[in-house]
Amino acid sequence: MTVVEFLTDPWHLPFMRRAFAVAVITGLVCGVVGVYVVLRGMAFIGEAVSHSAFPGVALAYAVQGNLLLGGALAGLTTSLLIALVSQNRRLKEDTVIGVFFSCAFGLGIVLVSTQDSWSTDLSSFLFGQVLAVGPEDVWTAAAAGAVLVAVVLLLSKELVAVSLDRETARAAGLPVLRLDLVLYTVVTATIVLSLEAVGNVLVLSLLITPAAAARMLTERLWATTLLASAFGGAGALAGLYVSYAYDLAAGGSIVSVLTALFVLTWCLAPRHGLLTRARRHRRRGPREPYAPPGPGPGPGPTKGTALSG
């Protein structure tokens, strides 16, 4: 199927229109929020929050509750605990994340082991089911996405300051703990928003990969944000095209397209790409081997002396 056929054929199907809308909204929001996650160097928190939602989902499944709400509450609780405990200066943030991540995922496994069988709802939460979204899901995603992007952009300067140097930001009077709580909450809400598009297993790629690709192309924050958002939306749309044209899983197709986009930028970025660095290295030529400086030239040989060797 060509791209033109794709853009004209499935649009008359209501479920495809809803899938396109939710996927693109999710990609745009993840691109914006992911920039601050990458800048903070906290990609691990995305993995931790997405997997810490698992016990909430398992508990909601056991009591026949709302899986999305259960996952959101569990993920938010874990992220807030991480933010609070990591304020202790003797513990690094990634250490605290590792503790709570493994604990939450282990608890989820225990809860799932109490059930006799898995349901379609639980598997769709884990692997995504963007083609099954309803009309209300589109409006919910649009409203939630607008709020999340607005919060991040309004606090952009403060979040950047805390990400670059927490101690300097604290000395400047910035509320570091509150900003941490805001960022963790936004990341959690973004992950929950993305679950229907790609699922719990693949959500980290949608959050990190567009921002990482944009980071290869520019060092300016506003340009990185715009590029990451564009990459996220375009990658989601292209992934759905691959999924529809070749009858593949939608979530996995979106992630595969985004990863291919990152590989392209990593190789072809004009300043920091692999090929650019290789050309720069060839122009410089091979480095001469290092030779330690010897003694300075002494007086020449006197008459009657023979030079050895």
Predicted confidence (pLDDT) per residue in 158-191, tens digit: 999 988 888 888 888 899 889 988 988 898 888 8
Say which residue the tokens 């936004």 belong to: 186
For residues 86 and 179, the model is more confident at 179
For the chain, which domains are there?
3-284 (1.10.3470.10)
Query: Rounded mean pLDDT of 276-282?
Result: 80
Q: How far apart are CA 160 and CA 178, in angstroms?
A: 14
The region of weakest confidence among 123-132, 133-142, 148-157 is: 123-132
Q: Kindly state the percentage of the chain with pLDDT values over 90.
A: 21
Query: Rounded mean pLDDT of 181-209?
Result: 84
pTM of the model: 0.78
Cβ neighbours of 7 (radius 10 Å): 12
Query: Contact, 203 vs 258, CB < 8 A?
Result: no
pLDDT for 212: 93
pLDDT for 229: 94
Query: Contact, 14 vs 133, CB < 8 A?
Result: no
**Burial class of residue 17 (count of CB atoms within 10 Å of its CB; 0-12, 13-18, 19+):** middle
Query: Rounded mean pLDDT of 120-134?
Result: 69
Distances from the Cα of 257 to the Cαs of 119, 261, 282, in angstroms?
Answer: 29, 6, 32
At 280, the amino acid letter reads R
Whether 57 shows a pLDDT value over 70: the answer reads yes
The region of weakest confidence among 14-28, 90-104, 264-278 is: 90-104
The dihedral through the CA atoms of 250, 254, 256, 260 has a sign that is positive
Q: What is the mean pLDDT of the chain?
A: 80
Say which residue the tokens 């790629």 belong to: 205
Query: Contact, 75 vs 126, CB < 8 A?
Result: no
Distances from the Cα of 145 to the Cαs of 130, 153, 187, 189, 190, in angstroms?
Answer: 16, 12, 11, 9, 8
**CA 43, 44, 49: angle at the middle one, nearest 5?**
105
Highest mean pLDDT among 80-94, 217-231, 278-292, 295-309: 217-231
Cβ neighbours of 244 (radius 10 Å): 20
pLDDT for 4: 59
Q: Residue 168 is encoded by which pair of tokens?
A: 């300097």
Cα 97 vs. chain centroid, distance in angstroms? Answer: 16
pLDDT for 8: 61
Q: How far apart are CA 290 and CA 9, in angstroms?
A: 65
Query: Rounded mean pLDDT of 8-36?
Result: 82
- 151-189 exposure pattern, b = at least 16 Cβ within 10 A, e = fewer: bbeebbebbebbbeebeebeeeebebeebbebbbbbbbb
The dihedral through the CA atoms of 32, 205, 240, 245 has a sign that is positive
Confidence of residue 122 (pLDDT cuts 50, 70, 90): low
Whether 237 shows a pLDDT value over 70: the answer reads yes
Q: How far apart are CA 193 and CA 46, in angstroms?
A: 13
Confidence of residue 296 (pLDDT cuts 50, 70, 90): low
